[in-house]
Each structure stands twice: as structure tokens, then as C-alpha cells.
């Protein structure tokens, strides 16, 4: 989009770098989230917390696991290429972010 509007080639290059870094960060962040949720699930099933099912932190942790697992499953089939484009119309010449 920036190329078709003849934006500064340095700005285009910077946006491409940021986009590439974002593509690399998303899967890593998702994997770390999934591992953390798995660890929390294991902990909630451990003997250390048996009998604490009515405790406020236990209830919140259980709700978080249920809520986040639904979100992760919903995004598992997302294609990063299909994401919405960022509007760069209001950037001034030479302005990065």
C-alpha cells in the first residue's frame, strides 16, 4: 500500500522490518502463552492445591485457563497474511511511528 502511494523508500523498508519482526514474535508469544497455561493447568491439578477449589485465586486461575484456551483455539487457524492493513495515510514524510 505504501509502495503504490510512493511513500519514502526508507519508511517502506522500516515498516517491512517491523512487520517481519512481528511475524516472528507472534508465534513465539503464542507458544509461551500456551506453555504457561499448560503449567498453570498442571499446577491446579496438583496435590498442593487440592481442596482449594473454592479459593478466589483458584477460581480466577481456572476461569483464565478456560477463557484463554478458547481464544487460542479460535486463533490457531488464523493466517497472518490475512490480517488487517495498518493505515499509514497520516504519517508525515520521514516519520516512522
On whether residue 40 sits in a domain, the answer given is: yes
Give the number of domains in the chain.
Answer: 1
Region 2-27: mean pLDDT is 78
Contact between 15 and 2 (Cβ < 8 Å): yes
Q: Could you tell me which residue, 81 or 62, shows the higher pLDDT?
A: 62
pTM of structure: 0.53
For residue 76, what pLDDT is reported? 57
pLDDT band at residue 56 under the 50/70/90 scheme: very high
Q: Does residue 62 carry a pLDDT above 60?
A: yes
On whether residue 15 sits in a domain, the answer given is: no
When the pLDDT of each residue in the chain is averaged and rounded to a whole number, the result is 77
DSSP 5-42: TT--HHHHHHHHHHHHHHHHHHHHHHHHHHHHHHHHHH
On whether residue 37 sits in a domain, the answer given is: yes
On whether residue 60 sits in a domain, the answer given is: yes
On whether residue 61 sits in a domain, the answer given is: yes
Expressed as residue numbers, the domain containing 40 is: 30-45+52-74
Amino acid at each position: 500500500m505504501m509502495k503504490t502511494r510512493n511513500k519514502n523508500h526508507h519508511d517502506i523498508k522500516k515498516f517491512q522490518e517491523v512487520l517481519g519482526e512481528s511475524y516472528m514474535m507472534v508465534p513465539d508469544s503464542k507458544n509461551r502463552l500456551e506453555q504457561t497455561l499448560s503449567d498453570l493447568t498442571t499446577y491446579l491439578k496438583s496435590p498442593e492445591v487440592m481442596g482449594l477449589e473454592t479459593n478466589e485465586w483458584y477460581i480466577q486461575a481456572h476461569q483464565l485457563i478456560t477463557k484463554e484456551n478458547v481464544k487460542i483455539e479460535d486463533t490457531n487457524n488464523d493466517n497472518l497474511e490475512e490480517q488487517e492493513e495498518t493505515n499509514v495515510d497520516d504519517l508525515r514524510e520521514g516519520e516512522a511511528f
